[in-house]
C-alpha cells in the first residue's frame, strides 16, 4: 500500500490475524457522552440549560518538560462530588446522576454513593427535580428513575434489604428513554410525562 506522500507502508503495519484484547478504558463514558450531546441540543434549541459538573480536583505536582506542555504528576479529589449533571428545565432546577451497568437483571446500588443520595435528597427537599438515568448496556435500554423510587431502594438496602434494583422494577417505576438522533437521551420527554 502506498500513502499519499508516495512512501510504502511497512510490513509491520499489516493487520494482525490475531485478535487484540478489547479496550474497556472508555466503558461507561458513552452514556455521559450521549447526555452531553443531548444537553448541547437542548441548549441550542432553547429547551433546557443543563451542564455536566466538573469534578473538583486539587493539583499538587506539575511537571513542565517544555514551555508549551505541562504534565500533572499528582492530584487529589478536593471533596466528594455530588451528581453528574444539573441545570434548569421548564423553570425547575433538575439534578441527576447517569449510570451504566453491564448487568441485565438489576441495577447494583453499589454504583451509587451515600454523598450522592444525600445531595439528591437535599435538592428534592428544596423543590428541585432529581432522578437517575440508568443504562442497561447489554440490553441497550435507558431509563429515567425518579429520585423517590431510588430513595426507597437505597433506604431499604440500608435496612438490610436487597443491594440492587431489579430490572423489572426499573421498567415499572421508571420511564424508558428511546434513542434519538439529535437528543440521543431525550430525558426531557420523560420529565414531561412524570412532572409536567
Is 80's pLDDT higher than 70?
A: no
In-domain check, residue 182? yes
Is 112's pLDDT higher than 80?
A: yes
In-domain check, residue 14? no
Does 169 count as an annotated binding residue? no
- When divided into structural domains, the chain yields a total of 1
Does 116 count as an annotated binding residue? yes
In-domain check, residue 8? no
In-domain check, residue 76? no
Take residue 180 and report the three cell numbers written for it: 434519538
Q: Would strands 106-108 and 69-77 be described as parallel, antiparallel, or unpaired?
A: unpaired
**pTM exceeds 0.85 for this model:** no
Local confidence band at 115 (pLDDT 50, 70, 90 cut-offs): very high
In-domain check, residue 61? no
What span, in angstroms and rounded, lies between the C-alpha atoms of 84 and 60?
A: 24
In-domain check, residue 64? no
Take residue 175 and report the three cell numbers written for it: 420511564
Rounded to 10°, the helix 147-158/114-125 angle is 130
Query: Closest by alpha carbon to 153, among 195, 120, 186?
Result: 120
In-domain check, residue 172? yes
- For the four alpha carbons of 163, 126, 122 and 159, in that order, the dihedral sign comes to negative
DSSP the chain: -B-TTSPBPPGGGSPPSSPPPP--TTTTHHHHHHHHHHHHHHHHHTSEEEEEPPPPEEEEEEEEEETTEEEEEEEEESS----SEEEEETTEEEEEEEEEES-SSEEEGGGS-HHHHHHHHHHHHTT-EEEEEEEEGGGTEEEEEEHHHHHHHHHHHHTT--SEEEHHHHHHHSEE--B-SSSTB-HHHHHHHHH-
Task: Note down the domain range covering 147.
Answer: 27-54+81-195
In-domain check, residue 7? no
Q: Which of 64-68, 120-124, 184-188 has the lowest mean pLDDT?
A: 64-68
Look up cell 480536583; give the residue.
57
Does 186 count as an annotated binding residue? no
Query: Closest by alpha carbon to 35, among 146, 142, 183, 135?
Result: 183
> Cα torsion at 33, 35, 36, 40 (round to 10°)?
140
pLDDT cut 90: percent of the chain above it: 68
What span, in angstroms and rounded, lies between the C-alpha atoms of 160 and 139?
A: 29
Write out pLDDT tens, residues 14-34: 444 444 444 433 444 589 999
Local confidence band at 163 (pLDDT 50, 70, 90 cut-offs): very high
Does 105 count as an annotated binding residue? no
Domain at 130, CATH number: 3.40.1350.10
Amino acid at each position: 500500500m502506498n500513502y499519499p506522500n508516495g512512501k510504502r507502508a511497512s510490513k509491520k503495519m499489516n493487520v494482525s490475524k490475531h485478535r487484540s484484547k478489547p479496550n474497556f478504558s472508555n466503558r461507561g463514558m458513552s452514556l455521559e457522552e450521549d447526555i452531553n450531546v443531548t444537553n448541547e441540543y437542548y441548549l441550542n434549541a432553547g429547551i433546557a440549560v443543563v451542564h455536566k459538573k466538573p469534578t473538583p480536583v486539587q493539583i499538587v505536582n506539575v511537571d513542565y518538560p517544555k514551555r508549551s506542555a505541562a504534565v500533572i504528576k499528582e492530584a487529589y479529589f478536593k471533596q466528594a462530588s455530588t451528581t453528574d449533571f444539573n441545570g434548569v428545565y421548564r423553570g425547575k432546577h433538575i439534578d441527576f446522576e447517569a449510570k451504566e451497568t453491564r448487568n441485565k437483571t438489576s441495577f447494583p446500588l453499589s454504583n451509587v454513593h451515600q454523598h450522592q443520595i444525600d445531595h439528591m435528597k437535599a435538592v428534592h427537599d428544596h423543590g428541585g427535580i432529581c432522578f437517575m438515568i440508568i443504562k442497561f448496556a447489554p440490553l441497550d435500554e435507558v431509563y429515567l428513575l425518579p429520585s423517590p423510587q431510588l430513595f426507597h431502594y437505597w433506604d431499604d438496602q440500608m435496612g438490610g434489604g436487597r443491594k440492587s434494583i431489579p430490572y423489572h422494577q426499573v421498567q415499572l417505576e421508571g420511564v424508558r428513554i428511546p434513542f434519538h438522533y439529535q437528543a440521543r437521551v431525550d430525558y426531557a420527554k420523560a420529565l414531561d410525562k412524570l412532572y409536567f
